[in-house]
Structure 1
Amino acid sequence: MNIELLQDGLDYGVIGILGFMSFLTIWFWIERLMFFRTVDLEKYKLKEALEIDLTNNTSIISSFGSNAPYIGLLGTVFGIIITFYVMGQSGDLDAKSIMTSLALALKATGMGLAVAIPAIFFHTHIVRKMEVLIAKWEIIQKEKDEYQKV
């Protein structure tokens, strides 16, 4: 097996997965924000029904935020393994090539963090918006109860 092909496959695979996760994270964040703007709180009779609708797709964002660093780390570990394999096969202990290979292996961890940090931010932002909408729904329900008592 050609080691360069393995290196390229690893790079494109890990970076591709992380790029796709980043795209989906942004997509679902925007989708949730658009849904929150159009939600009609008055149509919900039960709080649970509102919560089900509000929380759609939020676990995906959370999952990407928590797992992206691990995918990046996995890419880094494989990159380091490949670097050590190449060094062992060639018998070449050139510091320049070793450091270059290790630096390139670490880019996967960097990409994982670059996906995870915004994903966690987006998830936290959405959770806060959900809390506000649920609080507004509770206010509407209390006002309805008070109006019916009168």
Structure 2
Amino acid sequence: MMSVPDDWAWLEEMPEGWPTPAEITGPTAAPATNLVLLMLSSEMLGNDLVELIGEFIAEDARFNRWIGAEGKRELSMRQVAECSALLRECTKSIYEAWCNFSRVHERELRAAESALPERRALFVNINSASEKLRNARMK
């Protein structure tokens, strides 16, 4: 392993990257946006999840706007990298919850009230991701 200068040693502490699944690599350059588009194009969501997804994409936009302006001026390179890792972590958790929900819901032939635990997990993950992004901006 190649050593890094002391002032860059924090790079070795960063979490490993998450390989973005192919289904959320387009049509935009932003995986979180693509995930939202994937979920909204489904017929499996109720209005409560659609509303929550709207809140998530709004927090994602606020977070990215903040990073692009105040964040770049006020944060260290390490903190900016940590923010990027946070967004990947949030996208990953929602994606995994979405995959679990959609797989079980489809398996149960989209029966009314099917996949309730998975649906609840999706709800919790989306809500948690929005909260994490909001909290990161507010520090």
TM-score (norm 1): 0.33
Which is greater in Rg?
1
| Structure with greater proportional helix content | 1
Identify which of structures 1 and 2 has the higher relative contact order when contacts are C-alpha pairs closer than 8 Å and 6+ apart. 1
TM-score (norm 2): 0.35
